[in-house]
């Protein structure tokens, strides 16, 4: 493994000099893509989930899944994930976070390590996925921020909306500065995915469209993982197999248009 990827895992076995790197969250990791296999081949796990709830429909949280995940599950979820579908199609090694989850601030730190540790130009594609905003991405509204507005002339809700938008842009811009360095100094080709649609409005040409949208929120809404077991329905609100294929196709469409 290349030294700059010490925080990541190699999620496929291709023998290639080219690489693609995905930084994101549980969508990028592939949460839940083994659940259908559990229903078929390890039904005792769903018996456990079944006994844990009286609801007809139940959301299986990661904290309930984690203890059952095996190495074979990790291999399967990588195989079915949009990350590996894209990497295999492009014949590239695929790197992504080893652990499930991820935050914008945490992924920014990984970007910083790329910029600091790498000095040689190489053929690398980077897909940076903007995830939900965490407590580390925001602090209290400051007096300096409020002083820009006249409370007699501005509605308070509008002020908060404007401050939020300014902060979103600051977060986006801090990422984009690092991305520009990777592209200009190292020759990487970098793109953005947006889960919730908070950042697509700042599009500079790097955002990947999913259908008519600059986020994949609608795809998640329409294609969650859904498992029917006995007389109950279990959900993991991450992309199902078809959703991962559609997201992969969206990424490949963007890459093929620009390369």
Task: Name the band, by pLDDT with cuts 50, 70 and 90, for residue 120.
Answer: confident
Half-sphere exposure of 76 (CA within 13 A, CB side): 14
DSSP string, 175-209: HHHHHHHHHHHH--EEEEEESSSSSGGG-SS-BPP
d(CA 213, CA 132): 17
Average pLDDT over residues 105-128: 92
Q: Are 116 and 32 in contact (CB under 8 A)?
A: no
- What CATH code is assigned to 3-141+176-258? 3.40.50
Give, in order, the Cα–Cα distances in Å from 238 to each of 55, 77, 85, 101, 161. Answer: 20, 12, 17, 12, 28
192 compared with 166, residue with greater pLDDT: 192
Per domain, the residue ranges of the chain are 3-141+176-258
The verdict on pTM exceeding 0.85 is: yes
pLDDT digits 0-9 by tens, 190-229: 999 999 999 999 999 999 999 999 999 999 999 999 999 9
Residue 150's pLDDT is what? 63
pLDDT tens digits, 57-109: 999 999 999 999 999 999 999 999 999 999 999 999 999 999 999 999 999 99
The per-residue pLDDT of the chain, averaged, comes to 92
Residue 79: CB atoms within 10 Å: 14
Closest listed residue to residue 2, CA positions, set 19, 15, 25: 19
């Amino acid at each position: 493994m290349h030294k700059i990827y010490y925080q990541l895992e190699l999620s496929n076995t291709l023998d290639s000099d080219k690489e693609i790197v995905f930084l994101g969250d549980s969508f990028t990791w592939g949460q839940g893509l083994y659940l259908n296999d559990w229903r078929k081949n390890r039904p005792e796990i769903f018996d456990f989930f079944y006994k844990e709830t009286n609801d007809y429909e139940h959301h299986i949280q990661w904290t309930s899944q984690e203890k059952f995940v095996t190495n074979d599950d990790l291999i399967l979820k990588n195989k079915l994930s949009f990350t590996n579908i894209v990497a295999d199609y492009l014949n590239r090694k695929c790197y992504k976070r080893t652990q499930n989850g991820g935050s914008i601030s945490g992924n920014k730190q990984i970007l910083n390590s790329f910029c600091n540790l790498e000095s040689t130009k190489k053929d690398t594609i980077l897909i940076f996925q903007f995830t939900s905003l965490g407590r580390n991405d925001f602090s209290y509204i400051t007096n300096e921020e409020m002083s820009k507005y006249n409370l007699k002339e501005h509605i308070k809700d509008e002020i908060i909306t404007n401050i939020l938008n300014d902060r979103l842009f600051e977060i986006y811009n801090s990422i984009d500065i690092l991305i520009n360095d990777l592209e200009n100094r190292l020759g990487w080709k970098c793109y953005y995915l947006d889960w919730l649609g908070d950042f697509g409005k700042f599009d500079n040409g790097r955002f990947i469209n999913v259908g008519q949208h600059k986020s994949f929120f609608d795809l998640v809404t329409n294609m969650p993982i859904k498992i029917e077991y006995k007389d109950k329905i279990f959900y993991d609100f991450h992309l199902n197999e078809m959703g991962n294929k559609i997201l992969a196709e969206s990424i490949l469409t963007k890459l093929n248009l620009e390369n």
